[in-house]
């Protein structure tokens, strides 16, 4: 009886559950299973249980077939985390003022500006990232301009650096930061800013004490939307980092393609997922703690 009721009341959820199940849970389970199998000789997996893939994350076999600690992949993981965090900060620094500017425009203008924000999505990411190579390389736009103006004598090395990767990621993901922040700023009651000004805040102090705290949900959403893909990104790291600064995303892609070690690739993917989850939990906790107010 109660089961029937439960089915009745939750029947509306079934389509959503089916979609989530098919497109999210099942693929993750497949990856999870793969990560505990042995690699096939030409890619794919062999149906043998193995934890080699996870062991490889931290340990290597040396010449004498002894298992020794090897932090190479750990370093890659930390570098990826670092690059993702810097990209989030970069997107925030650029995205917040842009969102604030758009939100303060008259309504007709706002929609046009939002459309402009989405324009980059109309072109393939690969092509857009290639364009950055043309801009950044030694004979690229920036260097030749600076050289011809006589500001520098030798081309600056910009391409194939960690900075170039961050630049590419910020460029790619900044719309994901702008849109949610815009959404929360648009709902912000401008009269609250007036109230803050009335209570002895200048423009900047009002921004700090009223606008930013109220835009927090958008800032959090934007940060998550940037952080997750930035952590697993491989196009920008490959093209702009030149492959010498290997990142987690590139590493995963490599395992499934040329290295033909699917279990290891799957294990790496699980690690990325775990990292993301850990970061989200830490973030959520931090927000809850800081959400109370200021005079405590």
Partner 1 sequence: MTTAIDISNLQKTYPGTPPVQALSHADLEIRDNEFFTLLGPSGCGKTTLLRLIAGFETPTAGSLKLFGEDIAHLPPEARPVNTVFQHYSLFPHMNVLNNVAFGQLRQGKSKSEAKATANEMLELVHLADFASRLPNQLSGGQQQRVALARALAPHPRVLLLDEPLSALDLKLRQSMRTELKRLQKETGITFVFVTHDQEEALAMSDRIAVMSQGKIQQVGDPATIYEFPDNRFVAEFIGDANFFEATSLGGGKYQLARGETVMGPDIGADTNTTATVFFRPEKAELSMEGEGLHGNVSEILYLGNSTDYLVSLVSGETLTVRAENHKDGSALAEIGTDVVVSVDAKAVRVLANR
| Contact positions vs partner 1 (CB under 8 A) | 189, 191-192, 194-202, 205, 209-210, 213-214, 216, 291-295
Closer Cβ to partner 1, 22 or 287, answer by number: 287
Beta carbon nearer to partner 1, 7 or 195: 195
Minimum gap (Å) between residue 188 Cβ and partner 1: 10
Nearer to partner 1 among residue 64 and residue 204 (C-beta): 204
The residue among 146 and 221 lying less far from partner 1, judged by its C-beta, is 221
Q: How far is the CB of 295 from partner 1 (least distance, A)?
A: 5
Q: Of 15 and 291, which has the nearer Cβ to partner 1?
A: 291
- Name the residue nearer to partner 1 (CB basis): 196 or 254: 196
**Min. distance of Cβ 211 from partner 1 in angstroms?**
11
Residue nearer to partner 1 on the CB measure, 110 or 209: 209
Rounded least distance, CB 296 to partner 1, Å: 9
Contact yes or no for 55/67 (Cβ under 8 A): yes
Q: How far is the CB of 221 from partner 1 (least distance, A)?
A: 16
* Shortest distance in whole angstroms from residue 109 CB to partner 1: 17
Q: What's the Cα-to-Cα distance from 139 to each of 112, 151, 156, rounded to whole Å?
A: 35, 15, 10
- Cα separation, 29 vs 46, whole angstroms: 17
């Amino acid at each position: 009886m109660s089961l029937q009721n439960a089915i009745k009341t939750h029947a509306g959820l079934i389509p959503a559950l089916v979609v989530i199940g098919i497109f999210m849970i099942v693929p993750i389970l497949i990856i999870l299973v793969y990560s505990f199998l042995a690699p096939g000789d030409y890619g794919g997996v062999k149906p043998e249980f193995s934890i080699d893939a996870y062991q490889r994350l931290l340990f290597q076999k040396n010449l004498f077939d002894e298992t020794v600690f090897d932090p190479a992949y750990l370093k890659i993981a930390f570098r990826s985390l670092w690059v993702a965090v810097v990209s989030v900060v970069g997107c925030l620094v650029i995205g917040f003022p842009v969102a604030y500017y758009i939100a303060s425009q008259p309504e007709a203008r706002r929609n046009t500006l939002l459309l402009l924000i989405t324009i980059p999505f109309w072109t393939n990411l690969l092509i857009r990232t290639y364009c950055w190579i043309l801009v950044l390389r030694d004979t690229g736009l920036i260097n030749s301009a600076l050289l011809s103006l006589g500001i520098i004598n030798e081309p600056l090395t910009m391409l194939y650096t960690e900075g170039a990767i961050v630049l590419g990621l910020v460029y790619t993901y900044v719309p994901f930061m702008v849109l949610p922040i815009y959404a929360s700023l648009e709902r912000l009651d401008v009269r609250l800013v007036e109230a803050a000004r009335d209570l002895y805040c200048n423009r900047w102090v009002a921004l700090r004490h009223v606008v930013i705290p109220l835009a927090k949900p958008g800032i959090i959403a934007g940060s998550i939307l940037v952080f997750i893909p930035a952590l697993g990104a491989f196009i920008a790291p490959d093209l702009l980092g030149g492959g010498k600064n290997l990142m987690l995303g590139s590493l995963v892609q490599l395992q499934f393609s040329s290295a033909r070690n699917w279990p290891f690739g799957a294990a790496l993917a699980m690690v990325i997922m775990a990292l993301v989850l850990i970061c989200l939990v830490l973030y959520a906790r931090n927000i809850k703690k800081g959400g109370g107010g200021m005079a405590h």
